[in-house]
Amino acid sequence: MKVFSKNKLVSYTVLCVAVLTIGTISSCKKFLDVAPTDVTRDKDFLTDYWDAQYMLRGVYQELQPLTDYMFVLGEVQGDWAKPGTGADSDIIQLAEHRAKPTNRYTNWSPYYDLINRANYLIKNISRVPRDQNNFSEFMMNQYIGEVKYLRAFAYFHLVRNWGDVPFTTTPVDDISKVAYLPVTPQNTILDSVENDLTQAFAKTDFAINVFNEDGTLRQSNEQTRHRVCKGTVCSLQAEVYLWRNKYALANTACQAWQNTGQYPFILNGSASWYDIFTLGNQLFNEPMFMVSFVYATRETSTLMALTSNDPASGGKYVIAPSDVAMKTYNPNWPNSIGTSNTTDEIYRGFGASYAGSAPYYNRVGSSAPVIWKYLGTARVAAATIDVPAPVRLPYRSEGDFHITRQGDLYLLWAEALNRLGDKANAISKINSVRGRAGMPASTVTTASTNDQIEDYILRERGLELGYEGRRWYDLMRIARHGRPRVLIDAVENRAPASLKPYLEATLSDPAKWLLPYNANELQLNPNIKQH
């Protein structure tokens, strides 16, 4: 993760808040005769602002393992991706909506690790002595606001994946004190999520300020995109409200985001749409909140392994773009790629969101196309001859993963406006996204029905946000608006014909959209019963 501190830190030590600080060393002596030397006693911790920074960094660090879950669960269950030839049984189960309790993606521990770290900071941050120069009252509240967003983020994902789940705001700092909680109704959890986000908006700043060497403050564009600010909070608020069919509140959250004045909706200079995924912080206008991976500090994501079909790069080709998606980007794929933006997605389609197979990637008729967003360092132009590709070095899966960005929020705003009956402004938001991607205005008009406009928004979200971990949740959200057929039809269109009768029967029950509780969790926790 990025370092945010007054001075340059060379240590990347992260406090493990899942067992963050051992309350007393005596609890360890149940297992060890000698007290460990690398454990910080709770009474010796949180003595100055450096400890506060380490604690905050520990919360953010938990976003890295979650990117694997966000990408896999958000894409494989929908219609924009499919299992690749290297997919194992867990991935295939998810794609076929037959996930078993033993599936590794039913393990919710990474979400609760983040929640526990957030709970610890919220409870203990006030113990850090305040001083105006290094750790003011304002800074303490900023930290609390950031982690309240992160806690809300984790619980929102838990609810979307499992429905009713255990809920706690009490940290566990001693493994012997772990409580086995029953599940809490999801609406109760979402009420808490809304409350956390309201407080997060009040406490966070418009941008992140960092210390100069002389002790003065300056705004950091990089930290603003890697930490939580008011605009970041507004984006999650909008999505939570849309999930709960609270369209007016979603619209209000989007307006509050725009009122921050931090996000002009343009690409810098002559930058192309694909630069969003390669230039990162140089495109200050588009990114809002990202998880970073830095190869130099041994921080890499799973995305190259999941999406590449080049074993020499560590690729296992677990997840591939679906035919439905590729034909939406480029209608004549795999025969040809058009060069007119009236028929083809010339900036977001072939060579950007997806590409041909290794090693050159420019071959249109490839039998093994790949998701390109996490492999390439630039767009690939379709060609009839093999051209060396601008591809990341082997195992260098270190690109930023967008939690939210402006294209995402504009389309959420369009969804809210359309549901409120404001078709004209909904279409305006759609066209803002399309225009920024070099595409002509949408084909929907104010004469279109609300469902037709919503369908177009869903299509546009696929084109703009494909393979960013959103598709399955988009389908679920639209289905929750009272349109379950949208979800059922989308998954069936991606699936082989032999699987469609099963999917029709299964997905007709909204309870089956959720993952089962993990088998190990059921064995450990007597207070949880399977769905």
Whether residue 446 is contained in a domain is answered as no
CA dist., res. 4 & res. 320, Å (int): 36
Look at residue 17 and tell me whether its pLDDT is greater than 60.
Answer: no
Structural domain containing residue 69: 17-204
Last residue in a domain, options 160, 188, 204: 204
Are 45 and 190 found together in one domain?
Answer: yes
Last residue in a domain, options 334, 366, 398: 398
Using an 8 Å Cβ cutoff, are 404 and 70 in contact? no
Whether residue 448 is contained in a domain is answered as no
Are 311 and 184 found together in one domain?
Answer: no
Output DSSP code: residue 392.
P
Lowest-confidence segment of 9-13, 95-99, 246-250, 412-416 by average pLDDT: 9-13
Look at residue 10 and tell me whether its pLDDT is greater than 90.
Answer: no
Whether residue 83 is contained in a domain is answered as yes
Are 199 and 342 found together in one domain?
Answer: no
Which ranges in 221-300 belong to alpha helices (H)? Answer: 221-226, 230-243, 247-259
Whether residue 362 is contained in a domain is answered as yes
Does the reported pTM lie above 0.75? yes
Whether residue 244 is contained in a domain is answered as no
* Comparison of pLDDT for 256 and 48, the residue scoring more: 256
The average confidence (pLDDT) of the chain is: 89
Chain segment 498-513, per-residue pLDDT in tens: 999 999 999 999 999 9
Whether residue 507 is contained in a domain is answered as no
Look at residue 100 and tell me whether its pLDDT is greater than 50.
Answer: yes
Using an 8 Å Cβ cutoff, are 322 and 311 in contact? no
Using an 8 Å Cβ cutoff, are 45 and 52 in contact? no
Are 36 and 160 found together in one domain?
Answer: yes
**Location of structure tokens 């297992």:** 31
Instruction: Determine the average pLDDT of the residues in 222-246.
Output: 96
Chain segment 120-177, per-residue pLDDT in tens: 999 999 999 998 888 899 999 999 999 999 999 999 999 999 999 999 999 987 766 7
**Location of structure tokens 């495109």:** 283
Are 197 and 319 found together in one domain?
Answer: no
Lowest-confidence segment of 147-151, 239-243, 362-366, 403-407 by average pLDDT: 362-366
Chain segment 455-507, per-residue pLDDT in tens: 999 999 999 999 999 999 999 999 999 999 999 999 999 999 999 999 999 99
Are 303 and 200 found together in one domain?
Answer: no
CA distance to 12, 117, 135, 437, per residue, from 48 (Å):
18, 18, 8, 47
Whether residue 123 is contained in a domain is answered as yes
Chain segment 415-434, per-residue pLDDT in tens: 999 999 999 999 999 999 99
Return the pLDDT at 285.
78
CA dist., res. 382 & res. 378, Å (int): 13
Are 187 and 313 found together in one domain?
Answer: no
Outline where DSSP puts E strands in 104-225.
Answer: 165-166, 183-184, 209-211, 217-219
Last residue in a domain, options 182, 204, 226: 204
Contacts 24+ apart (CB under 8 A), 257-264: 257/230, 257/231, 257/409, 260/206, 260/229, 260/230, 260/231, 260/234, 261/206, 262/206, 262/207, 262/224, 262/229, 262/230, 262/231, 263/231, 263/288, 263/406
Rg (CA), the chain: 23
Whether residue 37 is contained in a domain is answered as yes
Are 182 and 319 found together in one domain?
Answer: no
CA dist., res. 95 & res. 274, Å (int): 27
Q: Which residue(s) pair with 210 in the sheet?
A: 218
Instruction: Determine the average pLDDT of the residues in 298-306.
Output: 93
Are 195 and 308 found together in one domain?
Answer: no
CATH of the domain at 127: 1.25.40.390
Are 199 and 312 found together in one domain?
Answer: no
Lowest-confidence segment of 9-23, 46-60, 155-169, 412-426 by average pLDDT: 9-23
List CB contacts of 220: < 8 A, sequence separation 6 or more.
4, 207, 208, 209, 210
Give the rounded percent of residues in the chain with a pLDDT score beyond 90. 75
Look at residue 40 and tell me whether its pLDDT is greater than 90.
Answer: no
Are 186 and 57 found together in one domain?
Answer: yes
- By residue count, the chain amounts to 531
Return the pLDDT at 46.
85
Are 187 and 303 found together in one domain?
Answer: no
Output DSSP code: residue 242.
H
DSSP one-letter string for 412-475 = HHHHHHHHTT-HHHHHHHHHHHHHHTT-PPPS--TTS-HHHHHHHHHHHHHHHHTTSS-HHHHH
Query: In the chain, how many domains are there?
Result: 2
Return the pLDDT at 8.
30
